[in-house]
Every structure is written in C-alpha cells, then in structure tokens.
C-alpha cells in the first residue's frame, strides 16, 4: 500500500518505521527541516521537508495515487486540514487523523475524516481496562459506524445478576451480541435471559454509552 | 596511495562532464585491472510508482551508457553500465556504492548558479556526507558555461 | 440592531475588523492565544478581549460562542482558521461564518465545502492590479 504520513514527530516516525518494515511504500511530510533531516538519516529518502497541508506539496508527494493518508502532528488543526485536502482535492480513499482534543472526534468524522485516533481516549480506555472487578474491554471498533464491540464480565455483587434482560434495561443504542457463561456455554439472547456471576457479555455500543452499559452490568460507579 | 582502487562507481547524467568523470575513473582503477560501473539514475516522480515504465528516460539512459562504454574502452578499461530507478540521485548512488562494494565514487559537478550565486547543488554534499567509500568530485571550470 | 460577533485572531487584520465592527455598534469578542496582540486594540464597552485557544471547542464555549450571530476566523494560520470556522459552523451552528484562507487552492476547496472564505493574497493582488490599471 502507498501511505502518506503527515508529521514526523514521535508517532509519525515510529509509524513510518513500522510501515516501511512491513514493505509499504511510504512518504513522510514534515514541515520542520531539522526534524526531517534527522529522520531522513534513519529512514532514508522517504521524507519531504514540506507542509503536508499544502495542496502543491501533496501533489509532489504523489497524493493522487495514495491509498491512505495518516496525519500525526500534534496539532489537530493541521491534521484536519491535511485529511480534508487529501480527501477533497486528491480523492484519497482512506484518511486517519490523530486527535489530541477528544471534543474534535465527532467533528472530524462529520467533516469526512474516516478514522480518528484520540490519544486521550486511547489512554483512558486502557486505564478502564485496568480497573478491578468487571472491566470494560474494547474488542473492536466497527468501521463506518460510531459503535464498537466491547466485552464486560459480570462481577460478584452486580445488580444485573439474576435479573432478566427485559427487567434490567440496557442503555438506548446498545445491544447484546453474545453472552458466554463461566463454563463456556453460550446463552441465547432474549428478554428471558438471566445474567449470572462471571458471565462474559459481548455488546455493541456507541462510545458515549459505554459507561452506562458498564454500570448496568457491574453496578460500578 | 596505500589502498588499491579496483572498483569505481560513476553516476552519469548526460552532461558534457560525463566523459571526463568516466575517463578519470578509468585512470584510477586500470592499473589494478579494476572495473568502472557507470550508472544512469532515473529520478521517478512520486506521482508514479517507483517501477513505472519511463520509456523516454530509459532510452536516453541507454544511449548515454553506450557512449560511456566507448569512452571506457578507449581507456582500455573494463566497464559495466546500469540504469537505476530511484526517487532521488544521492541516496541511489550511495546504496549502489555499498552494493557494488565500490572503492571510489567519481562524480561530476558542473559549475552552476542558483538565484545568482554559485552552488554545488544537493547531490555532491549528500555523497560527501554519506558515501561509504572515497568520493572524487570533478567540478568543472566556470568558463565552460560561458563558452556554451 | 447590534450583532454579537466573535473574532478569532488579533493580528493586524483581526484588530482592524474588530475596531470597525465595534465602531458600527456591534458587540465584539476578540480571541487570541497571545495577550500581547491585544495591544492593537483600545478598551471599549462593546469590545471584549479574551486569551484563549480558538481550536478548542471548550474554550470557544467559555468565550461565549453559543450566543454569537457571526464568527470570523482571521489568524495567520489557514489550518487554525479552517478548524475554528468549521467548528463554529457545525458544532455551534453559528449563522454567519467567515474564514481567512491564504492558500488559493485550499481556499477553493473550502468554498466548495460551503465556508465563506476570504483570501488576503487574492484581495491584495486584485487591488494592486486595479491600482496599476487606473
């Protein structure tokens, strides 16, 4: 795949190195000439020392035949404009933006950025996963939808134990995909389903309903 | 010279200097029955894949290499020509020098001006900085440009 | 009726626009990341100056973007202007949004996307050519 990486800070540099190691064609655009020169010593002639939000620079970099643009600078504004120019002026099929301000996630999606990676949310989700007693584990984001697949284990003392799905009431917009009992038995999903301690609940939920879902299944605050 | 120079690498571009640099390289290696590798590097725009077919440039390169082989033979020197496709000249020559285990790179630098001031461009400094082996720069006299 | 106008960026252009609108009687809020830039403006009852980051929706909200009739993005950086203006338009639903975009190609793109853009190099060029012609 031919990938353009905008920004050669820590994320851009490590990402490019990994992409090159996986035999992808990579061009990195880095505005700061010193930073570009330093990275070029390690990565070779894949770096252009120019502003990746400039249409003329993207033309030179070959954006018109690029399959994926990843904007990794520390500035959300730069990452947004790089993705918008790539999408609108060069018809790049897939764009990914690193987002520092979590408030920008929804806006960027609305503005046509295909995937946003919020560094803050990423760290938070890992902190949640470290929580004892029924953590919420992110299994998979669903492409093209604002939802993701998550997994929660029902802990001892959860208010959900012994209650049927109909009574319990899940947050609007969430739905259960599968429930696996401790012994490995897969329970059938229906209004009569009774949850027990140590059930693994796999659910589909939008990110803003995660906390509600987690509370409903674990009783946590 | 303490070390024997047996393998020389000469990047050519089609400039009038090519004959001199190839001749110079022959003189450097022929006492040790060495070989001169002449490379013509096609710089492929990033708008195209690296292995894109560039017939015009390939034909031009082949023509230049044939000429340079004649020059080397007139110096009674073993010569090999090659066309490379790369994004930029400097790194391509450095990689090739490492691959061929070259003892010396001989490069021509025409006298040139940029915005009214003399310049040696990007390639020569790159080679001087990153070449794994010795580098000989043949910078042309200023007069050549005026007589042209 | 006076309008509520928010201006992002208090450089020469931002300051002049702010002064002009305040003189017309509009209520103007000027935002800049750097308090030094407010030296270009004089105190006036209908002119507020706030140090804030215009690319943060939280900060824009703190500055009162939710009550404005117009948002004008005039920093020297196209990227900052593009983000702030699109945020004002989509996230806050500001009725009238004007955005400075210097680069002519990017400007055309944002025009297509429905932003109202102004390009100082373009305006200058037009004026210079006009001055020459007369």
For residue A65, the chain B residue with the least C-alpha distance is: B47
Any residues with CB less than 8 A from the CB of B84 and at least 6 apart, and which?
Answer: B39, B40, B41, B42, B92, B96
> How would DSSP label each residue in A188-203?
PPSTT-BB-TT-EEEE
Confidence of residue A188 (pLDDT cuts 50, 70, 90): confident
Query: Is A59 at the interface with chain C, CB within 8 A?
Result: no
| Residue whose C-alpha is closest to residue B106's, from B88, B127, B78 | B127
Residue A102 in any domain: the answer is: yes
* C-beta separation of C61 from C6 below 8 A: no
Question: How many CB atoms sit inside 10 A of residue A204's CB?
Answer: 19
Nearest chain B CA: its distance from A61 CA (Å): 5
A64–B46 C-beta distance less than 8 A: no
Chain A residue at shortest CA distance from C92:
A107
Beta strands in C1-134 (DSSP E): 4-8, 27-32, 47-51, 70-73, 96-100, 116-118
CB–CB of A168/A195 below 8 Å?
yes
Burial of C105 (0-12, 13-18, 19+ CB in 10 A): middle
pLDDT in tens, A23-49: 999 999 999 999 999 998 888 889 999
Q: What is the CATH number of the domain that holds A176?
A: 3.30.70.1450
Q: Does domain C4-133 sit in CATH 3.40.50.300?
A: no
CB within 8 Å: A107 and C90: yes
C90 in contact with A at a CB cutoff of 8 Å? yes
Show me where the domains of chain C are located: 4-133
Question: For residue A36, what are the contacts with CB-CB under 8 A and spacing of at least 6?
Answer: A8, A28, A30, A47, A48, A49
pTM (two decimals) = 0.75
Strand C70-73, strand C96-100: pairing = parallel
Q: Is A103 on the interface with C (CB under 8 A)?
A: yes
For residue C3, pLDDT over 80 is answered with yes
Nearest-by-Cβ selection for C109 from A80, A85, A110 = A85
Structural domains in chain A (count)? 2
Quick: pLDDT tens for C31-67. Answer: 999 999 999 999 899 999 999 999 999 999 999 999 9
Rg (CA), chain B: 15
Specify the CATH superfamily of domain B7-112+123-147: HUPs (3.40.50.620)
Q: Say how far apart CA A104 and CA A132 lie, in whole Å.
A: 30
pLDDT digits (tens, 9 = 90+) for B25-79: 999 998 889 999 999 999 999 999 999 999 999 999 999 999 999 999 999 999 9
Q: Is A162 on the interface with B (CB under 8 A)?
A: no
- Percent of the residues in chain B that have a pLDDT greater than 90, as a whole number: 79
Residue A125 forms part of a structural domain: no
* Paired residues of A151 in beta bridges: A137, A202
For chain B, domain boundaries: 7-112+123-147
ipTM of the complex: 0.90
Asked if A189 and A165 count as a contact pair (C-beta separation under 8 A), the reply is yes
Answer yes or no: is A95 within a domain. yes
Chosen from A7, A74, A84 to mutate, greatest number of chain C CBs within 10 A: A84
């Amino acid at each position: 795949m031919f990938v353009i990486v905008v920004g050669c800070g820590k994320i851009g540099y490590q990402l490019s190195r990994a992409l090159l190691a996986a035999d992808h064609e990579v061009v990195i655009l880095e505005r700061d000439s010193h930073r570009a020169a330093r990275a070029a010593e390690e990565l070779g002639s894949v770096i252009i020392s120019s502003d990746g939000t400039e249409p003329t620079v993207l033309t030179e970099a070959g954006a018109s035949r690029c399959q994926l643009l990843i904007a990794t600078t520390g500035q959300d504004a730069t990452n947004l404009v790089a993705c918008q120019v790539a999408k609108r002026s060069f018809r790049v099929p897939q764009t990914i933006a690193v987002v520092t301000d979590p408030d920008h996630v929804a806006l960027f999606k609305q503005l046509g950025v295909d995937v946003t990676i919020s560094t803050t949310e990423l760290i938070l989700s890992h902190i949640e996963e470290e929580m004892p007693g029924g953590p919420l584990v992110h299994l998979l984001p669903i492409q093209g939808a604002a939802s993701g697949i998550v997994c929660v284990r029902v802990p001892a003392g959860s208010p959900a134990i012994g209650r049927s799905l109909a009574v319990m009431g899940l947050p609007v917009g969430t739905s259960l995909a599968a429930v696996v009992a401790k012994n490995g038995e897969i329970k059938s999903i229906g209004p009569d389903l009774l949850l027990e301690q140590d059930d693994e609940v796999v659910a589909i939920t939008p990110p803003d309903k995660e906390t509600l879902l987690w509370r409903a299944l674990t009783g946590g605050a | 010279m303490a070390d024997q120079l047996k393998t020389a690498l000469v990047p050519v571009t089609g400039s009038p200097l090519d004959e001199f640099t190839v001749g110079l390289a022959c003189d450097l290696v022929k006492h040790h029955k060495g070989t001169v590798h002449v490379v013509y590097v096609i710089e492929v725009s990033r708008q195209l894949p690296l292995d894109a077919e560039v017939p015009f440039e390939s034909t031009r390169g082949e023509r230049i290499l044939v000429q340079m082989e004649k020059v080397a033979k007139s110096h009674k020197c073993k010569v090999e020509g090659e066309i490379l496709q790369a994004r930029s000249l400097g790194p391509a020559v450095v990689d090739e020098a490492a691959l061929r285990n070259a003892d010396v790179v001989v490069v021509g630098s025409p006298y040139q001006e940029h915005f009214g001031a003399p310049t040696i461009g990007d390639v020569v400094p790159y080679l001087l900085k990153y070449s794994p082996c010795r580098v000989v720069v043949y910078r042309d006299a200023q007069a050549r440009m005026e007589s042209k | 009726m006076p309008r509520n106008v928010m201006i992002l960026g208090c450089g020469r252009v931002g300051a002049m626009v702010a002064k002009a609108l305040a003189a017309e009687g509009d209520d103007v809020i000027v935002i800049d990341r750097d308090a030094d830039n407010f030296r270009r403006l004089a105190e006036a009852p209908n002119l507020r100056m706030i140090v804030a980051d215009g690319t943060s929706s939280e900060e824009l909200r703190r500055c009162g973007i939710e009550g404005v009739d117009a948002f004008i993005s005039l920093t020297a950086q196209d990227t900052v202007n593009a983000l702030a203006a699109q945020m004002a338009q989509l996230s806050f639903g500001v009725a009238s949004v004007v955005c400075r975009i210097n680069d002519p190609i990017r400007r055309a793109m944002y025009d297509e996307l429905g932003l109202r853009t102004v390009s100082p190099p373009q305006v200058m060029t037009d004026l210079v050519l006009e001055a020459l012609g007369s």
